[in-house]
């Protein structure tokens, strides 16, 4: 491995024009494919085989004209008169009519009233005689009304942000002119911002500062950023091109960008730092580039492999949208690894002696009596060595306490009802809850297949009996026959029916989930009584089923990821105990992360975020990403300890030497990751906001608490036993040579402890 990567790095340095041209050509090809064949992204969270999906399939057979729930781009405009007034007053009627006239002129709004929701944008009205009250668009007191329309798009992913902004401007203008409160919610108000906004810029700005402090050179600090941005750009083009052959969720690019930026900067940082070190051993820059790629690059390869395993293994749980998300992020990470291994040495070959020019800070480290660097990493290692038991127990107690809130974790998909209180979506939801009841926003749809019944009377009797059965369930505000699939000119009911159940509770309320379970439990009984096939679907049912499948898939996913990564780490460290402690440390950090996320994001502790449920797929995705990143730091830090140990240092000194050579770079890398992830907390989407928070917190716990405190403390306690490996296993394991033992250097040190890791940067 080390020799292969050595040749790759050396050739990339010497033949830099070919490597740079190759990457640019690849970017053009992938970008062209994306432009020519890409399809719109989707917000669907469907999973084949779940009960609600089966019911939705029946619904498509019986009602082919019904739009898929995830393709719905409906907007509900909620208008409310001041207290003591009603919408029937002439001034308010004029304002409402103005809305009805102006909405069709908005960009992307349907110009044909027949395409709009409920037959067109109409003034709020009470239910007509004989029509179920649950279909009313005017509250009982006449103060609150709902107007609905459909954007003229295939899916909400096609909706442009400017269209929604113009609608919001129209609503604000109407409110100012009329005195009405005018808000809007619905799937047609959700616009996913594309990558490239303020969140990424904040992360990149902090990364630049950290890199300047690390290298003290403007040119060197810019190289990791250039590599990361190029890798992410290529990855995003690839993800866009992937939409031609598979469905990609609209949140996938944001998450892939988040991860790609972080690992892209970090991987390049590790190799560049090793290159700078190797320049103290040789004047041959191509040789130094080869050594850097052969040693630090080997660690990058195995660190990247752990991330790839963790992300790609999401396919094992057989959840399409999560599989696409994992594969897209994994592809971006793969590109980042290849960019670090080849484009970085090519850039070093292009810049040559200018690589560390533009000095903004001189670095003159203190040295001990043997000439070795005596930095803060060494001081920290010596501090840990004084009381390793106390430090290890302290970490376990701290992370255990932080993990405690995980018992209160409530998983759900974000809705308008859980949006921040200052958004128009939340204000509209609150008005609807107050005027029509919370269940209005999360109805359950019972689909009835009555094709076995031969007469219209039999079918109508079956539909009535199912309606009565639904009304008899707890937490049901109303159950009404919405429609049958009979032709308009046929008086008898059709062979299929849709029955809308409006719960008394909201879509994110546990009582609604209990109602769904009760309906499912009694489903077989009512089918036997009516000789029909019954299924429950709708957005609430689908997202609930997806959450259940995610929870059930988690143990399988953990077993696959941890098992494969454990084998990989045994290969890297040639040890049983080091991978075991690495895995246990990961479990501590991820549990603490989930606990902190529940406390801060769900329970609203400290007042940083408004309380809302944790996004259902966040834990499983977080586990995958955090495991990969945790193993990154494990590999980068402990491989330097093993390298020192392989070259003859006892365990106690090897741990300190690992901190001497890697702690500063790992700290910089972790700080950059935290900055990149934290920037995404500023996004509007709850999915991205919560993921950014959780990932940032996880890096704090794993890099600075587990890898910098717990792992070295445990290694001190284990001593030489840390590298124990059964002889039979040692014989059959291939030697991957992550430490670069097989590589020759022009001026190899006599003793690893005498290596001068950092010198004056000027003239390097």
388-414 pLDDT tens trace: 999 999 999 999 999 999 888 887 777
Q: From start to end of 269-426, where are the E strands?
A: 411-412
> At 742, is the secondary structure helix, strand, or coil?
coil
Q: Furthest-apart CA pair in the chain: how many Å? A: 100
Rounded CA separation 225/495 (Å): 62
Rounded CA separation 162/181 (Å): 22
Radius of gyration of the chain (CA): 30
Rounded CA separation 37/562 (Å): 37
Pairing of strands 144-150, 74-80: antiparallel
Here the tokens at position 255 are 């998450």
Specify the pLDDT at position 746: 44
Q: Say if CB 8 and CB 342 are below 8 A apart.
A: yes
Helix H or strand E segment including 573? helix 539-573
Specify the pLDDT at position 363: 57
Q: Say if CB 95 and CB 178 are below 8 A apart.
A: yes
Beta bridge partners of 479: 501
What is the per-residue burial (b if ≥16 Cβ within 10 Å, else e) of 420-434? eeeebbbbbbbbbee
Specify the pLDDT at position 367: 63
Q: Say if CB 443 and CB 501 are below 8 A apart.
A: yes
Average pLDDT over residues 235-256: 79
How many residues are listed for the chain in this entry? 764
Helix H or strand E segment including 718? helix 711-718
Top-confidence residue, 645 or 599? 599
pLDDT band at residue 741 using 50, 70 and 90 as cut-offs:
low
pLDDT band at residue 114 using 50, 70 and 90 as cut-offs:
very low
Phi/psi class of residue 598: alpha, beta or left (left: φ > 0; alpha: ψ in -120 to 50)?
alpha
Handedness of CA 278, 284, 286, 290 (dihedral sign): negative
Specify the pLDDT at position 255: 73
Average pLDDT over residues 296-310: 83
Distances (CA, A) of 197 to 36, 221, 333, 483, 676: 25, 22, 20, 45, 12
Q: Of 69, 573, 52, nearest to 298 (Cα)?
A: 573
The full set of domains in the chain, from first to last, is 2-40+193-414+544-754 (no CATH), 72-189 (3.30.70.600), 444-537 (3.30.70.1320)
Specify the pLDDT at position 116: 43
pLDDT band at residue 198 using 50, 70 and 90 as cut-offs:
low
Specify the pLDDT at position 200: 65
> At 410, is the secondary structure helix, strand, or coil?
coil
26-83 pLDDT tens trace: 999 998 988 888 777 766 666 777 888 888 889 888 988 887 777 778 889 999 999 9
DSSP 94: H
Here the tokens at position 284 are 């041959």
615-637 pLDDT tens trace: 877 888 788 777 777 777 887 78
Rounded CA separation 493/497 (Å): 8
pLDDT band at residue 416 using 50, 70 and 90 as cut-offs:
confident
pLDDT band at residue 18 using 50, 70 and 90 as cut-offs:
very high
Helix H or strand E segment including 544? helix 539-573
Q: Say if CB 399 and CB 589 are below 8 A apart.
A: yes
Rounded CA separation 686/664 (Å): 34
Angle at 312 (CA atoms; ends 613, 703), nearest 5 degrees: 65
Residue 744 has pLDDT above 60, yes or no: no
Comparing 13-17, 79-83, 153-157, which segment has the lowest mean pLDDT? Answer: 153-157
Rounded CA separation 541/507 (Å): 9
Specify the pLDDT at position 111: 67
For helices 218-242 and 16-37, the axis angle rounded to 10 degrees is: 30
Average pLDDT over residues 548-568: 81
Sheet strand arrangement including 144-150: 144-150, 74-80, 181-185
Helix H or strand E segment including 445? strand 444-449
Average pLDDT over residues 665-693: 80
Handedness of CA 618, 671, 569, 276 (dihedral sign): positive
In the chain, pLDDT over 90 holds for what percent of residues? 22
The CB density around residue 200, as the number of other CB atoms within 10 Å, is 19
Distances (CA, A) of 686 to 296, 349, 428, 445, 609: 37, 44, 17, 26, 10
Phi then psi for residue 449, to 5 deg, are -105, 110
> At 54, is the secondary structure helix, strand, or coil?
helix
Helix H or strand E segment including 76? strand 74-80
Comparing 126-130, 271-275, 391-395, 752-756, which segment has the lowest mean pLDDT? Answer: 752-756
DSSP 700: I
Close Cβ partners of 749 (under 8 Å, ≥ 6 residues apart): 281, 755
Average pLDDT over residues 226-254: 82
Phi then psi for residue 78, to 5 deg, are -105, 125
Residue 364 has pLDDT above 70, yes or no: no
In the chain, pLDDT over 70 holds for what percent of residues? 89
Residue 156 has pLDDT above 80, yes or no: no
Here the tokens at position 743 are 């590589």
pLDDT band at residue 656 using 50, 70 and 90 as cut-offs:
confident
Specify the pLDDT at position 763: 36
Specify the pLDDT at position 358: 73
Average pLDDT over residues 756-760: 38
475-499 pLDDT tens trace: 898 898 888 888 766 777 888 999 9
Instruction: Please state whether the predicted TM-score (pTM) of the whole model is above 0.95.
Output: no
pLDDT band at residue 109 using 50, 70 and 90 as cut-offs:
confident
> At 617, is the secondary structure helix, strand, or coil?
coil
Distances (CA, A) of 365 to 511, 753, 759: 63, 16, 7
Helix H or strand E segment including 148? strand 144-150
């Amino acid at each position: 491995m080390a020799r292969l990567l050595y040749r790759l790095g050396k050739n990339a340095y010497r033949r830099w024009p070919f490597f740079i041209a190759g990457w640019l050509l690849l970017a053009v090809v992938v970008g062209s494919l994306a432009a020519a064949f890409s399809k719109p992204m989707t917000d669907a969270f469907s999973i084949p085989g779940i009960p609600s999906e089966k019911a939705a399939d029946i619904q498509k057979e019986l009602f082919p004209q019904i739009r898929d729930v995830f393709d719905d781009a409906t907007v509900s405009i909620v208008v409310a008169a001041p207290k003591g007034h009603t919408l029937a007053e002439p001034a308010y009627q004029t304002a409402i009519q103005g809305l009805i006239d102006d909405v069709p002129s908005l960009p992307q709004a349907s110009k044909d009233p027949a395409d709009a929701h409920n037959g067109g944008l109409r003034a709020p009205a009470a239910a007509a005689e004989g029509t179920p009250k649950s279909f009313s668009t005017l509250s009982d007191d006449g103060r609150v009304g709902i107007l609905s329309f459909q954007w003229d798009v295939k899916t909400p992913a096609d909706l442009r942000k400017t269209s929604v902004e113009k609608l919001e401007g129209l609503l604000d203008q109407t409110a100012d002119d009329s005195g009405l409160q005018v808000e809007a919610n619905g799937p047609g108000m959700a616009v996913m911002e594309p990558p490239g906004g303020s969140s990424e810029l904040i992360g990149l700005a902090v990364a630049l500062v950290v890199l300047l402090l690390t290298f003290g050179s403007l040119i060197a600090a810019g190289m990791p950023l250039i590599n990361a941005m190029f890798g992410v750009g290529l990855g995003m083009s690839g993800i866009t091109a992937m939409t031609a052959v598979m469905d990609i969720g609209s949140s996938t690019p944001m998450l892939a960008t988040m991860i790609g930026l972080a690992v892209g900067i970090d991987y390049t940082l590790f190799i560049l730092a090793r290159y700078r070190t190797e320049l103290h051993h040789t004047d041959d820059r191509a040789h130094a580039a080869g050594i850097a790629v052969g040693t630090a690059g080997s660690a990058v390869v195995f660190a990247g492999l752990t991330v790839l395993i963790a992300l790609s293994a999401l396919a094992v749980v057989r959840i399409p949208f999560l599989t696409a998300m994992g594969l897209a992020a994994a592809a971006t990470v793969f590109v980042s690894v290849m960019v670090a291994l080849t484009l970085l040495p090519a850039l070093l070959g292009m810049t040559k002696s200018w690589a560390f020019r533009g000095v903004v800070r001189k670095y003159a480290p203190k040295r001990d009596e043997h000439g070795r660097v005596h930095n803060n990493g060494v001081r920290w290692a010596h501090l840990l060595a004084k009381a390793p038991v106390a430090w290890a127990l302290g970490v376990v107690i701290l992370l255990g306490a932080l993990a405690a809130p995980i018992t209160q974790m409530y998983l759900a998909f974000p809705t308008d009802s859980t949006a921040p209180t200052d958004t128009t979506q939340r204000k509209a939801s609150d008005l609807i809850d107050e005027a029509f009841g919370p269940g209005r926003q999360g109805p359950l749809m019972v689909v009835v297949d009555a094709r076995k019944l031969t007469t219209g009377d039999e079918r109508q009797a079956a539909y009535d009996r199912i309606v009565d059965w639904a009304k008899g369930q707890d937490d049901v505000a109303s159950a009404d026959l919405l429609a049958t699939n009979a032709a308009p000119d046929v008086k008898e009911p059709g062979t299929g029916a849709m029955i809308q159940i409006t719960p008394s509770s909201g879509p994110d309320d546990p009582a609604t989930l209990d109602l769904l379970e009760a309906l499912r439990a009694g489903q077989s009984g009512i089918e036997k009584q009516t000789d029909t096939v019954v299924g429950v679907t709708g957005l609430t049912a689908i997202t609930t089923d997806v959450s259940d499948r995610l929870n059930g898939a988690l143990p399988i996913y953990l077993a696959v990821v941890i098992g494969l990564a454990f084998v990989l780490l045994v290969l890297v460290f040639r040890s049983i105990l080091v991978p075991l402690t690495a895995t246990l440390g990961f479990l501590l950090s991820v549990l603490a992360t989930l606990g902190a996320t529940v406390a801060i994001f769900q329970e609203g502790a400290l007042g940083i975020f408004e309380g809302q449920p944790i996004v259902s797929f966040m834990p499983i995705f977080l586990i995958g990403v955090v495991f990969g990143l945790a193993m990154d730091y494990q590999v980068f830090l402990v491989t330097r300890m093993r390298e020192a140990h392989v070259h003859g240092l006892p365990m106690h000194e090897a741990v300190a030497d690992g901190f001497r050579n890697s702690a500063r770079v790992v700290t910089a890398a972790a700080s950059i990751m935290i900055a990149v992830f934290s920037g995404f907390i500023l996004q509007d989407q709850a999915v991205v906001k919560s993921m950014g928070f959780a990932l940032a917190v996880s890096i704090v716990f794993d890099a600075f608490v587990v890898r910098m405190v717990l792992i070295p403390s445990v290694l001190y306690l284990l001593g030489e036993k840390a590298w124990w490996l059964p002889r039979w296993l040692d014989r059959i394991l291939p030697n991957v040579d992550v430490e670069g033992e097989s590589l020759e250097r022009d001026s190899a040190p006599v003793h690893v402890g005498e290596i001068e890791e950092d010198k004056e940067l000027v003239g390097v």
